[in-house]
């Protein structure tokens, strides 16, 4: 498809723009108070007959400096408003396409929807490039490359982990808990939601319908992938929120701007880890209700691979299409 190189460039530009703009959160948030203190200090120590101006820059007083700096937070907020407007459009598009014409498993449809909610137009672009079915009955061949399988595996992980992390952040910020407790809560919530919901509920039908077997099978891959997600998200959140107290309020648009950037960084860090997990068979990538797994092999073959790598007994009816429904 000819438009895909353009889409790659747009995705890169959006990512770069968000990375460059989001760290500016908080720079101007604290400037007015600092400048007010500077102005008071100058006024108190200046001769009565001399106005409180910068002697090295005639005509440049503190008032004009304040006005120049106060434009920065307004610009940042405007950019974030535009970003989340694009996010709303992206979520609607991905939801419409995924639930009306994409044969992916239900859990992956929700995964793409959640990740697009967190990463905006970048998530939607990745969906089009790696998961949107190009032609009827062509999805299995389309998602066959390892990088697309890895992308699906990472999205599957990120949807659960990032959701848990963001929910924990909203709760701890609302309660005003200290940063160290916030980080611990985010780790626990992220790992629990990723393991017990997005991973184990999905895997249980491949393991004879046993949820406990699915938890045991998914524990190590999810733990490795979750640590990579946390390694990307937490530093971004701690650094940016420590620079801007407004970004620590869940009702602030800057809070959600930080979460968007943190999720993107978490995705980048987790991608190579998931590529290794997929390559060695510890995780699978994208699959469909028709077939599942890398290269479009059958669900029965996937169940055999699980049995070979984990010793778990696969579902006796794993080759039937009914097993896939509702996943």
Q: Which H, E and C letters describe 238-304, residue by residue?
A: HHHHHHCHHHHCCCCHHHHHHHHHHHHHHHHHHHHHHHHHHHCCCCCCCCECCCCCHHHCCHHHHHH
d(CA 239, CA 209): 43
Task: Identify the residue whose tokens are 């029965």.
Answer: 300
Beta-bridge partners for 61: 53
In the chain, pLDDT over 70 holds for what percent of residues?
Answer: 63
Q: Is 104 helix (H, G, I), strand (E, B) or coil?
A: strand
pLDDT of residue 14: 59
Query: How high does pLDDT run on average in the chain?
Result: 75
Contacts of 147 (CB under 8 A, 6+ apart): 130, 275
Q: Could you give the C-alpha distances from 153 to 55, 98, 284, in angstroms and in order?
A: 61, 17, 6
Q: What is the pLDDT of residues 117-138, one digit of tens each?
A: 999 999 999 999 999 988 888 8
Q: Which DSSP letter does residue 132 get?
A: S
d(CA 218, CA 306): 11
Q: What is the pLDDT of residues 155-209, one digit of tens each?
A: 989 999 999 999 999 999 999 888 889 889 999 999 999 888 888 877 676 666 7
Q: Per-residue pLDDT for 227 more than 60? A: yes
Among the residues of 102-145, which ranges form H helices?
106-119, 121-130, 139-142
d(CA 195, CA 200): 6
pTM: 0.70
Poorest-confidence range of 74-83, 107-116, 243-252, 309-318? Answer: 309-318
């Amino acid at each position: 498809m000819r438009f895909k190189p353009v889409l790659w460039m747009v995705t890169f530009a959006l990512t770069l723009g968000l990375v460059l703009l989001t760290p500016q959160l908080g720079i101007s948030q604290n400037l007015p108070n600092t400048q007010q203190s500077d102005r008071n200090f100058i006024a108190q120590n200046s001769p009565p007959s001399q106005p409180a101006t910068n002697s090295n820059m005639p005509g440049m007083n503190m008032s004009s400096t304040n006005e120049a700096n106060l434009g920065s937070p307004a610009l940042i907020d405007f950019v974030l408003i535009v970003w989340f407007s694009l996010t709303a459009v992206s979520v609607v598009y991905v939801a419409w396409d995924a639930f009306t014409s994409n044969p992916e498993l239900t859990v992956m449809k929700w995964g793409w929807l959640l990740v697009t909610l967190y990463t905006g137009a970048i998530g939607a672009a990745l969906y089009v490039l790696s998961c949107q079915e190009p032609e009827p009955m062509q999805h299995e061949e389309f998602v066959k490359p390892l990088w697309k399988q890895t992308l699906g595996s990472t999205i599957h992980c990120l949807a659960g982990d990032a959701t848990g992390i963001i929910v924990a952040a909203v709760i701890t910020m609302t309660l005003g808990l200290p940063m160290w407790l916030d980080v611990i809560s985010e780790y626990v919530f992220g790992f629990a939601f990723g393991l017990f919901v997005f991973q184990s509920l999905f895997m249980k039908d491949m393991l004879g319908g046993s949820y406990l077997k699915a938890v045991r099978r998914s524990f190590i891959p999810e733990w490795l992938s979750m640590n990579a997600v946390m390694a990307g998200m937490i530093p971004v959140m701690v650094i940016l929120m420590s620079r801007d107290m407004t970004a620590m309020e869940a009702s602030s648009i800057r809070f959600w701007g930080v979460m968007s950037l943190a999720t993107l960084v978490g995705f980048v860090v987790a991608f190579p880890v998931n590529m290794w997990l997929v390559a060695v068979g510890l995780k699978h990538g994208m699959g469909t209700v028709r077939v599942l797994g890398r290269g479009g092999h059958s669900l029965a073959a996937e169940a055999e691979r699980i049995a070979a790598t984990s010793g778990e007994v696969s579902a006796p009816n794993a080759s039937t299409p009914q097993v896939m429904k509702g996943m």
